Structure 1
Amino acid sequence: MTEKCAWVTLATNDSYCLGALVLAHSLRKVATKHNLVVLITPGVTDVMKDRLQSVFSEVITVDVLDSKDAAHLALLSRPELGITFTKIHCWTLIQYQKCVFLDADTLVFKNCDELFEREELSAAPDVGWPDCFNSGVFVFQPSNETFDALVKFAQEKGSFDGGDQGLLNQFFSGWAREDIKKHLPFAYNVCTTAFYSYLPALKQYGSDMKIMHFIGNLKPWLQKFNWSSRSVAEESHLQAPLQYWWDIFLDKVHPCLDSAMAGLAGSLSQLSIGSSEQGSAVEEHLRRQGWEAGNIDYMGADAFSNIWAKISQTLSSPPAQAPPSPPSTPAPSTPPVTQAVVPVAAPVETPVVAPPVETPVVAPPAVSATPVASTPPVETPKEVVPSVVKPVVVSPSIPEEKVPKKDEPSAVPPKAASQEAQTGAKDSKVSEDIGEETQL
């Protein structure tokens, strides 16, 4: 075969680059004769890009194509699939005549170079709907015309599932009926979710598997792994393929990781084989990744009792840290409280005592001619009354004939005085007569 061909994969971040690196080494292990190409987005760090270049024939940075189709993606509960539209950039690799695309979460067990003899678009049926093909593995022919047509189709009609699989199935809509030769055997794209519904077939045909696809949340780097024994933590029907993935990772990928890498790759770089303490830290990181992917261990570490215990510990931690604080802390806190009370009380007392009391006491005597006897109702403070009344008595503005003084004799004429005296005598006489009649 004289055509220039390549295996192509896509990695949008450093965590998916872990899968891409293991995939590349698995292809090398089966002695493929074709080039290895990885498409990456700007989200991949430079240090990870250097590691990719040491394994792949080409590392090509492409722009991110996002479907922006939140409504359809919600039906799949997989909003992160929008970015997988970036996959259609593989049609721009026109330096190759034929390519086979593999998702970064696939693993090759046997040489599959015969796939390059297939035509575009060849793929295996999807386990969820066999009349659709699974876009994790497919044969295609690079072409700028096809790329432009795919972009236009995506803009006009979108994708029935919001991701690349829906788009490609709509674009290559004749796959289900037109040419049976474009239907790849399931052995070229064995989806792990199929095992739960058809385990007997796995036992019968499992030895013929060539490519496994760890679909959904069953990514190998998200599964539990015993770093001390270098073995898969839990026994299951996936134990053998998962162990193979981890064997390649520990031998070929892990020694090349760097702490400057992002996400899980950076965490795994700090892990020494056989160290359980560091393994627990990475396990916590894997748990967070699992939560984001919907892989939640409700019966184990993520049980409600453990979550509630963590919440209670977090809520009770602040009071526990308060006593160790230095003794000098309470002292400065007391003065600010006292100073805050005094300024508030002062403005209330000042206007009540000084100005309002003195002003009404002094003003009325200066204007009114009322006798001095009318002033007692104002003598609230006893010390103030004498000082206020004294100036009123001696005030030069009040004439002596209108306001008589208590110490001087009245200015009544003598004749009127004698008449008043006589009247008083008559009154006393009448009183005496009344008293005598009462005694009788």
Structure 2
Amino acid sequence: MTNDVIAASDVEEGWYDPTKIWTTLLTNRAYFGGLLVLHHSLRRQRSRYRLVVMVTRDVEADTEYMEAFAVAGIPTIVVDKIEPAPRDGKVNKGTWEKLAPWSFTQYERVVLLDSDQVILQNIDDMMAVPIPAGWIASTHACTCNPRKLAHYSKEWVPENCAFTAADQATGAPAPITASSHANHHLLNSGTVILTPSKEQFGALIHAMNTHPDVPTMLFFDQDLLAIVYRGRWKPLPYAYNALKPMRACHAGLWKDGDVKILHYILNKPWKSRTYDAEDTIESTHKLWWDEFALVEREWTGSGAGEKKRALWESVVVPVVAQE
């Protein structure tokens, strides 16, 4: 595991608190547009903490891509491959590198975000959320399965969802107790607050290599975290990881003005500039495109510089819908 931060050349010094960071994982170019929106929205909401992006060795080897990170002013941290031990000659390949932040002991606190999120309000309070030693904080997983996906558990129905049991007026999450439905123990790893620890990182890697459920896990790191931290994770209000389908399937809980982090699970907004503005869920894509327009102006405007405009054309344009 490599924990050397590669600093972007034009990162401003002094405006941020260096003891705590936001981080997200990129394994290829496909999510770079999402990352730019995440980074821009954090800065626009005046976060005092820096976003440091985890990149894999394949990304590190992509010289042009790494140059785009530097031009964007986004520092990176290279992480080695994390993968479960083979079972019967097979490996459950996934984004296991999302476990790497537990090894970032140079920081007091790390908040793991997904790069298909947009920040709608300042979220710096997450850096001060009290968490017992050996715990994490996250939001519940929504287990309503509104699309009726056949490969999801038959227990994934609205009456078993933790958000159904949340306080519909205040948004306060349902407490996790011994009598809670099994689904209430499931979390969504789009937002995770953690304290880096060699011991906890070691426990996660051990569980990844030995737990019998790993070969069949659908949600990789998310399912593993729910197992390792069962009874040891603090639920956050949905507003810190508002999954966009919840705007329809949890309409009584969802309040637009309360949402701090909007998470574009399933179809990504950058895949098409066309969306149904009247649809409860798809209309949220406008927020992403509005933020992207500000990013585009920074990269292509008269003050951007030739290199930045060239990288926009070669790195960003190919992965973001143009029509």
Could you state the TM-score of these two structures normalised by the residue count of structure 1? 0.51
Asked if 1:88 corresponds to 2:99, the answer is yes
Larger RCO: Structure 1 or Structure 2 (Cα < 8 Å, ≥ 6 residues apart)? 2
- Paired residue secondary structure (2:142): coil
**Displacement after TM superposition at 1:149 (Å):** 2.0
- How many equivalent residue pairs? 248
**Aligned match of 2:153:** none
**Aligned match of 1:47:** 64
Q: Structure 1 pair 3/63, CA: closer, same or farther in 2 (3 Å)?
A: closer
Q: CA-to-partner distance for each residue in 1:60-91, whole Å, 9 max, x for gaps?
A: 121222347899x9xxxxx9x83211101112
**Displacement after TM superposition at 1:151 (Å):** 1.0
Between the aligned partners of 1:234 and 1:2, the Cα distance in structure 2 is: 39
Q: Is the 1:153–1:171 Cα contact (8 Å) retained in structure 2?
A: yes
**Displacement after TM superposition at 1:198 (Å):** 2.5
Q: Structure 1 pair 49/171, CA: closer, same or farther in 2 (3 Å)?
A: same
Q: Structure 1 pair 244/88, CA: closer, same or farther in 2 (3 Å)?
A: same
Alignment of 1:243-262 (within 5 A): 243-253=286-296, 255=300, 256=308, 257-261=311-315
2:247 maps to a residue whose letter is F
**Displacement after TM superposition at 1:22 (Å):** 1.0
Q: Is the 2:85–2:209 Cα contact (8 Å) retained in structure 1?
A: no
Corresponding residue to 1:225 among 266, 269, 273: 273
**Displacement after TM superposition at 1:49 (Å):** 1.9
Q: Structure 1 pair 29/207, CA: closer, same or farther in 2 (3 Å)?
A: same
**Displacement after TM superposition at 1:30 (Å):** 0.3
Alignment of 1:382-393 (within 5 A): none
Q: Which runs of 5+ in 2 are unaligned?
A: 1-15, 144-182, 301-307
**Aligned match of 1:168:** 225
Between the aligned partners of 1:2 and 1:41, the Cα distance in structure 2 is: 25
Percent identity, please. Answer: 27
Corresponding residue to 1:156 among 205, 210, 213: 210
1:161 maps to a residue whose letter is M
**Aligned match of 1:351:** none
Q: Is the 1:38–1:60 Cα contact (8 Å) retained in structure 2?
A: yes
Q: Is the 2:185–2:230 Cα contact (8 Å) retained in structure 1?
A: no
Between the aligned partners of 2:104 and 2:68, the Cα distance in structure 1 is: 21
Between the aligned partners of 1:124 and 1:268, the Cα distance in structure 2 is: 29
Between the aligned partners of 1:56 and 1:36, the Cα distance in structure 2 is: 10
Between the aligned partners of 2:122 and 2:43, the Cα distance in structure 1 is: 9
Q: Structure 1 pair 58/196, CA: closer, same or farther in 2 (3 Å)?
A: same
Q: Structure 1 pair 219/161, CA: closer, same or farther in 2 (3 Å)?
A: same
Q: CA-to-partner distance for each residue in 1:193-245, whole Å, 9 max, x for gaps?
A: 2233233433xx22100011111x221112x315xxxxx56532235531121
Corresponding residue to 1:36 among 24, 44, 51: 51
Between the aligned partners of 1:86 and 1:101, the Cα distance in structure 2 is: 12
Q: CA-to-partner distance for each residue in 1:167-214, whole Å, 9 max, x for gaps?
A: 1111111136xxxxx210111111122233233433xx2210001111
Asked if 1:198 corresponds to 2:246, the answer is no
**Aligned match of 2:258:** 208
Could you state the TM-score of these two structures normalised by the residue count of structure 2? 0.68
Q: CA-to-partner distance for each residue in 1:254-295, whole Å, 9 max, x for gaps?
A: 63544543xxx45258x8xxxxxx63xxxxxxxxxxxxxxxx
- Paired residue secondary structure (2:48): coil
Between the aligned partners of 1:41 and 1:201, the Cα distance in structure 2 is: 37
Corresponding residue to 1:58 among 62, 72, 75: 75
Between the aligned partners of 1:236 and 1:67, the Cα distance in structure 2 is: 40
Bigger share in helix: 1
Q: CA-to-partner distance for each residue in 1:95-139, whole Å, 9 max, x for gaps?
A: 210111101111110001111112240111111133211111010
Q: Is the 2:29–2:319 Cα contact (8 Å) retained in structure 1?
A: no
Alignment of 1:333-344 (within 5 A): none
